[in-house]
Amino acid sequence: MLGTLIQFNARDVPLRVAVRNALAIVLPLLLGLATGHIDAGLGMATGALTAMFTDQPGPYRLRAVRMLASALVAALSALVGSLIGANDTLTVATALLWGFAGGLLVALGPDAARAGLTAMILLVITTAQPRVLDGAAAVAVLVLAGGVLQTLFAIAAWPLQRYGPERQALARMCRTLADSARSQGHANHPPPATDQLIALDNLLHGAHRARAEIMQTLRVLAELLERARREIVTLIDLHGLLADAQARASLSRTLDHAARILDIFAAALASGEQAPTANAALADLDSTLDALARLPATRTDAQDARALVAIISHAQALSGQLRALLRNVDIAGSRGDLRALQAERRLPLSLQPRSALATLRANLNLSSVAFRHALRCGACLASAVAIERALDLAHGYWIPMTLAIVLKPDFAGTFKFGLLRVVGTLLGLALTTVVITFAFDDAWLQVLLLGLLCVAYRMLAGIQYALGVMMLTGIVVILLGLGGEPPLAAMSARAVATAIGSAAALLAYLLWPTWERSRLLPALATMLDAYRRYLLTVVGQTPEARIGARRAARSARTNAQASIERLRGEPRPDTRLLAFAEGVFANANRLIRACMTLEAIAQKAEPGALREPLAAFMRGLDDTLAALVAQLSGRGDADLESGRLRTLERQFARQTAADTDAGSVRLVQLAEVLDRMTDSVDTLAFLLRERFSAKPG
């Protein structure tokens, strides 16, 4: 509990975004005060507030669609809530429907989940103030207008900086790769920049991507960064094989220079300018490469000499990727005419977004986490509404509102959000109520305070959720106060309702749980199977096939890691299962890093005469991974012996040692990579044998 309260993350919302969000909320209130129509201002401010939650990074086209959809959903909820609020039975039935629909939307991702949560909150709030048709329609129109205003603020820079989100995402990718090159990581760590690559894929290939000519250049940049990432991962892994201190220091300098160049590219992409200092940085990198190239002749250790030859090859390839990046960064960041360097390829089927309707239909069964969450959410929201209506509690709508906010698809998320929600709400209620009662008793000053709280909420919510809730609670208190509810008189009732709503969410989860221990092994199996499919595309497959398999592998790895974290947050987690999962995840990271090295080597040259031994090894690797996946998936006992794979790896190594053609150095690299892959798979097989052959007691 203490760890949850003191956990802080990096800030993920720029100040300019927070300010524009606050302006879209404050301006209608100021206009309402000035014209004597504060109720209209409150309606628009509410709509702008709800749309603010879906103002997330992405292409302007996607941002507009997402925010306008959220505004429409909020307006519909306000209309329905205002019309049915006087009928208790109809209110409970509608809460059941809204809760189920809003809960099911988690299957479509976080953006859809935010829209569903907004709909539930607006329904609960507006049912507390029932209206006739004219009044309800007016509220819905005002909420929609506020959402549209917030959307216009969010996309106002579209004509001036049309590809800002795409460039910013590429800049973040450059910075992440630079940090990875400096820190040099560890072979057990997952490859860097996975989240950034997933975001880039959605930006550049998603359904709402921009379609102008410059997008071709931005896609070239993304592909070059992907290649540079493979070279950096390979160099970091080879760094761990070096025993000589001088060689390690020389490679570290090379990686540091590469990091400096990537930082220059990040700054150029973020500002939309060229990168004039990159040429000097590339010259410094060339100097370190020259020094690195002289080392193999002075090494007496055979392993270090072989590793240095491989390092030089990959460092030179990285230098080439950075030079290509410079050419494309200059084009993408220039203010003049923008032209593309590569013909736009058709989006592969594997990258095309799945139909939202098909996704929801696939989740309509009890085995789906989203479906179970939808049932739980609908039942809880309806029950909370029924109870607060039956007891006629003052400000009782805070109970279902809190429950909707706190209840998540997993116990760990529900517990964390519940705890932080209670702490943040109590602090926000106390501080805001005192401030506006004794210091900001004027409506104009309260609107000013509300604007400051909006900026603080956007800046703090990603850093620490309790602080964000504290600011958001203050915003709600001020809005309700401007609507005529005395803040001080309602403070204790709201605090009690918040505690009840959070406790009810946890109780509901305990009564009908979806424990992560039942989902972790399938998530690990999906990850290994995605890795297996990716491995099959590395040698001899088309780039389109590799792109699709690579994307699936990233998503599977992210899901498996999230599953481990959710298990860690459950009460009395299965420590043996957690240790097993962490072991599988660490060795899977070793496997995928070796696979990235294999891909980097395979793209430079075909293995020539050793093509068939390599193909035989890949077939053996595929068979072994398929057996591991079958065991993790519970599809019967599988043969987890990996002796055949080691035999194939040794055969390749012996034939490599006998090869004397010009490509032998690269073949030695291949042999080392296959050895690392075999080690990883052997360890995975050992972990699974220990897990599934252990007898109870």
pLDDT at 302: 67
The whole-angstrom separation of Cα 314 and Cα 205 is: 29
pLDDT at 6: 64
For 359, 365, 374, 477, 514, the CA distances from 368, given in Å and listed in that order, are: 11, 6, 10, 37, 10
Which of the 8 DSSP states describes residue 208?
T
pLDDT at 592: 87
pLDDT at 346: 41
The whole-angstrom separation of Cα 663 and Cα 310 is: 12
pLDDT at 484: 78
293-301 contacts: CB < 8 A, separation 24 or more? 295/246, 295/247, 295/250, 299/244, 299/247, 301/243, 301/244
Task: Give the residue among 31, 22, 19 at the shortest CA–CA distance from 443.
Answer: 31
Q: Which tokens belong to 406?
A: 């706190």
Residues of the chain below pLDDT 70: 1-7, 159-162, 186-188, 206-216, 297-303, 330-355, 487-490, 540-541, 603-611, 636-643, 657-666, 694-697
Alpha helix segments (H runs only) across 334-439: 356-362, 369-391, 398-406, 411-438
For residue 632, the surrounding DSSP H or E stretch is helix 611-632
Whether the domain at 164-346 and the domain at 521-692 fall into the same CATH topology:
yes
- Residue carrying structure tokens 């370190």: 288
Q: Which residues contact 552 (CB under 8 A, 6 or more apart)?
A: 350, 530, 533, 534
pLDDT at 212: 57
Q: Which tokens belong to 345?
A: 């390829």
642-645 contacts: CB < 8 A, separation 24 or more? 642/678, 642/681, 642/682, 642/685, 644/620, 645/617, 645/620, 645/621, 645/678, 645/681, 645/682
The whole-angstrom separation of Cα 48 and Cα 153 is: 10
Q: Any idea where the domains of the chain sit in the sequence? A: 2-159+366-514, 164-346, 521-692
pLDDT at 138: 95
Sign (positive/negative) of CA torsion 575, 581, 584, 588? negative
Q: How many CB atoms neighbour CB 635 within 10 A?
A: 10
The pLDDT tens digits for 603-646 are: 665 555 556 778 888 888 888 899 899 988 877 555 555 567 88
pLDDT at 349: 40
Q: For the domain bounded by 164-346, which CATH number is listed? A: 1.20.58
- Contact yes or no for 425/473 (Cβ under 8 A): yes
Mean confidence (pLDDT) of the chain: 81
Query: 521-692 has which fold?
Result: Methane Monooxygenase Hydroxylase; Chain G, domain 1 (1.20.58)
pLDDT at 270: 81
Q: Which tokens belong to 440?
A: 């900001």
For every residue of 637-688, which 3-state class applies, written as one string?
CCCCCCHHHHHHHHHHHHHHHHCCCCCHHHHHHHHHHHHHHHHHHHHHHHHH
pLDDT at 308: 80
The whole-angstrom separation of Cα 604 and Cα 597 is: 11
Amino acid at 162: R
The pLDDT tens digits for 322-360 are: 888 887 776 654 333 333 333 333 434 444 445 677 778
pLDDT at 34: 93
